[in-house]
Copies of this chain bind each other. A is one copy, B any other.
Amino acid sequence: MTGNGTKYAQIADYYRLLIDSKKLREGDRLPSEAEISALFKASRITVRRAMEEIVQAGYIERIQGKGSFVRTLKRDMQLNHLKGFTEEMRAKGLDATSRVIDVNMIACEAKAAEHLKLDADSRVTSIKRLRLVNGEPVSFEHVFVPFHLYPELYHEDLRNSLYSLLARKGLKVHRASQSISAGFAPQEICELLNISKKAPTLNIERVTYLEDGTPLEYVLSTYRGDRYTFHVDMSR
């Protein structure tokens, strides 16, 4: 517990800690406002202020007439689960494979370096792959992984899930930030995807991070507009 700060922050911290440390588990009921009020010798409004804090942070859910309950995080996890291409296609019952176009250790390009928080000339492993579903090309991706995070990466078999490989090295993808736009692809990518230069493509720029916030990879993907749709669930 903190001890400093405002009263409502202390109350909020107290319950946040109980939940973080699993002393209060999913679905458990918190004491009522009146009880917390008595426990901390705080007015009900101060207690409510504290509860609002942890509702806001997604820790609990309050139901009039029933009480405050530790939230089941399952729903949100399912809501927008971050998947790799292989995993995503498997979830749809499709068979995903890759054709490795090119693997290299290179000096990092400026844009990739910025997203990976590396110095401009740092070394990165560069991987170009064509992603296929049921043997048909669906997307082309160019992945950049900081070399020092996984020096042997370019010796590995990259025909399957990259995330599985990384996970086996203890590099677990935690979150990703993506930018999705519509456009065209350059000639050589069009040829790989077997589409016309005038065919629209879905272009996704993705940065994935480890739990501690370290950027793990920077990916530029080009999806065939006629073969791929990106799904997202969002909540308020």
Contacts and interface: CB of A to CB of B under 8 A. Distances in A.
Interface stretch (A20-28, A108-116, A180-188): A180-188
Contact of A183 (B198, B225, B230, B234): B225
Nearest to A57: B236
Contacts of A201: 182, 200
A81 B234 contact: yes
A233 to B, nearest CB: 5
B225 A82 contact: no
A183 B172 CA distance: 34
Interface string A193-236: 00000101111000000000000000000010110111111111
Dominant secondary structure at the A interface? strand
A181 B229 contact: yes
Contact of A181 (B45, B175, B225, B233): B225
A6 interface: no
A200 B222 CA distance: 14
Interface residues of A, number: 35
B181 A202 contact: yes
A64 interface: no
A90 interface: no
Nearest to A174: B236
Contacts of A235: 80, 82, 174-176
A179 interface: yes
Contacts of A176: 233-235
Contacts of A203: 182
B177 A231 contact: yes
Contacts of A200: 182-184, 200-201, 225
A51 to B, nearest CB: 13
Contacts of A226: 183
B174 A232 contact: no
A230 B206 CA distance: 12
Nearest to A201: B182
